[in-house]
Structure 1
């Protein structure tokens, strides 16, 4: 048993695994001076510290006591849009002429294994940083733009990472036309190969849960993306869409049409796109850190989306090549300072609504009895400080599946 007690606040997000919209995004279900009891990886009780159930004789309790400290408990952050791999390992490379002679097969296998291990080591460092900043679940996209083979290899790296990581990882196959110069055939051939070969294989081997398409003038057009996404859905994959990121378009409406779990970015979404999202079950996943990192671009219109009744989630958009943050605390702060969200709305968007965008809100995203024990403790006196006191890491304890995986209490 794990007992967390004498917590200044417990932000429960009570209400079950349904997306929160409008005014419901401001109801955090806060318990003052609260406690949480965990057993077998699940939450068994949440309430005021004074009402903690009596300990049964002979049962050992590991206790984290916040008495005299400023500790606020939240559901572990869920980051529903990340690109944790910069590239995938190549299956072969040129031989070093100074090295010993060996067969092409042996050399290629050895180099591939070394590259994969190096990529894994980099990704594992990111995993530790996610957990250290209070994120317990992420969506992770494959490498895109260098051909289908590299995309599949990157998903294999993510599969290896999932096996050895405490962080929960939901893999997504990201579809984008290959960069000029890649030996991948014409765009039509790439689309056909994706539909006929890649998607069935990914579904069959369980390498991806979702398929995502980059839909804009520089990547796939609406017809190409529609064909890929419909094939992905037919193969049993969930749908996600990069929409209206770099200019006006109809990606959000395509996301609704294809039953997407999430439409992401949306900096350029128009009224028709917002209306379509408001009438659907598609979550709008916004990435304020990406907009900030890429030269102060205007962020997505979060206020208009929320006021229209669209469920809004937040994500880091972490990518080693363009958005160098994996800190959801910073994203919550940027959502407030740059997108006009309230701290309550931003916390909802980073927890239960993010869980809804990944289809996992039946077990994570709230702190309620019989939910998975994914819990973070922030060293703040009030949950609103997460949004207002930014630029530092407030997370001091991270609990994943009932196990304490980060513990910095001794440093307080």
Structure 2
């Protein structure tokens, strides 16, 4: 059955499609199906046999191709200046991340380069990265700050993210990650830095309408978990949802702390305990899995997928595009890694990059599915079955990308 009465005239109608709607708990495939668009919104979707006798300005024969929602890349650090190729070469020669950081490398190197770049330069540098993600079917993405670590540079990163969305016709969700690490001017004063973020930088970003989510790190490294709560409380009091990087290097109970805050997602989670995962399940906090980092850093530890499944914690996937631990711009590679490294099923991986990714981005019920009333953002793939998108290591380019926002 169709899900809504047909309007008098559609703008566009796709027929003979194999629609992967992401409805229910699986892929929700309708075949052969039809999908109609009116004013950039899905106006009708259902089996070909139920297609109403109505007109369309433009008709498209999908030719039996699979049609999936546009990908939602809900964890990226897309905006930054400089790269860390030299550090990559040195690590291959045996240098440790700790040694590089002691020499002024790592995040602080990227901070210095990013602070020197005006908004226009940050946009120009990030634009090719964004277009590469879009070319593989991303229609919504999250972009974090966190490489500025002072008022002007953090705001510039967020301004650049907003501009990238406007100028490229893609939905961008921004996350404030001022609590990425402690900058040099606050060395030894991490609590003062978190107070500065909560009382000065975050309010300035909010006043300019630059922030959708507050992110942070609960790893017990340069910032202690109780200090992160200074910023998280300020964000929640301002009406912002929160998420966080945690339990990547050891079990600090961060996933449980994030769940207690009602966080959208807890990200990384290689060492999360069953107690934390139980709390995530109760709170509805998404497990954001980032296999690009696991591959690039050659980390042996894997997130506890069996516990996520046992407790019913939804799993999302994202590129985690960043210069230090996941320099990838390929959602298709991440889908493959989610299956080959983490042993996700193709259904879990595909849902993780669409409907569950939408939850992690604070867009549950708004993107990541094919259903009436949602934006017309979908991709036609030249594949024999959906699992093929997880099988090829970065292969299977899209046949056609449809976006009501960009017209691409």
Q: TM-score, normalised by structure 1?
A: 0.83
Q: Partner of 1:60: helix, strand, or coil?
A: strand
User: 1: distance between equivalents of 2:180 and 2:132?
Assistant: 31
Q: Does residue 219 of structure 2 align to residue 219 of structure 1?
A: no
Q: In structure 1, how many angstroms separate the alpha carbons of the residues matched to 2:295 and 2:70?
A: 24
Aligned CA-pair RMSD: 2.2
Deviates more, 1:298-307 or 1:188-197: 298-307
Q: Give the equivalent residue in structure 2 for 1:337.
A: 340
2:267 aligned residue: 264
Match of 2:331 in 1: 328
Give the aligned partner of residue 79 of structure 1: 73
Q: Which residue does the alignment assign to 1:409?
A: none
| SS at 1:4 equivalent | strand
2:249 alignment partner in structure 1? 246
Report what 2:134 is aligned to: 131
1:5-84 equivalences in 2 (<5 Å): 5-7=15-17, 9-15=18-24, 24=25, 27-56=26-55, 59-61=56-58, 63-67=59-63, 71-84=65-78
1:1-32 Cα distance to aligned partner (Å, 9 max, x none): 1222222x2101124xxxxxxxx3xx211012
Is contact 1:76–1:365 with CA below 8 Å preserved after alignment? yes
What is the SS of the residue equivalent to 2:349? helix
Q: Please list, as runs of the form range in 1=range in 2, the aligned pairs for 1:11-410 lying within 5 A after superposition.
A: 11-15=20-24, 24=25, 27-56=26-55, 59-61=56-58, 63-67=59-63, 71-87=65-81, 115-144=118-147, 146-176=149-179, 178-179=181-182, 181-182=184-185, 186-401=189-404, 404-405=407-408
SS at match of 1:239: coil
User: 1:288 and 1:337 mapped to 2: Cα distance?
Assistant: 10
Distance 1:119 1:297, change over 3 A: farther
Tell me by how many angstroms 1:36 deviates: 1.2
In structure 1, runs of 5+ residues without a counterpart are 16-23, 89-111, 406-412
Preserved CA contact (<8 Å) 2:247 2:253? yes
Q: Which runs of 5+ in 2 are unaligned?
A: 1-10, 83-114
How far does residue 178 in structure 1 lie from its aligned partner after superposition?
Answer: 4.8
Counterparts of 2:387 and 2:150, CA distance in 1: 44
1: CA distance, partners of 2:323 / 2:329: 10
Asked if structure 2 preserves the Cα contact closer than 8 Å seen for 1:85 and 1:142, the reply is: yes
**CA distance, structure 2, for counterparts of residue 139 and residue 251 of structure 1:** 21
> How many equivalent residue pairs?
366
Aligned-residue offset at 1:356: 1.3
- Judging changes above 3 Å, is the alpha-carbon distance between structure 1 residues 361 and 329 closer, same or farther for their aligned structure 2 residues? same
List per-residue Cα deviations over 1:62-88 (Å, max 9, x = no partner): x33232xx6211111101100001249
Q: Is the 8 A contact 1:12 1:74 kept in 2?
A: yes
CA apart distance, 1:369: 1.3
> Aligned partners of 2:129, 2:62: CA distance in 1, in Å?
28
Cα gap change, 1:383 to 1:168, in 2 (>3 Å) = same
Cα pair 1:145 1:178 within 8 Å, conserved: no
Partners of 1:233 and 1:179 in 2: how far apart? 22
Three-state SS of the structure 1 residue aligned to 2:162 is: helix
Q: How far is 1:144 from its partner?
A: 3.4
* Aligned mates of 1:221, 1:86 — CA distance in 2: 25
Any conservation in 1 of the 2:179–2:197 contact (CA below 8 Å)? Answer: no
How far apart, CA to CA, are the structure 2 residues paired with 1:3 and 1:299?
A: 43
How does the TM-score come out when normalised to structure 2? Answer: 0.84
Higher relative contact order by CA 8 Å / sep ≥ 6: 1 or 2?
Answer: 1
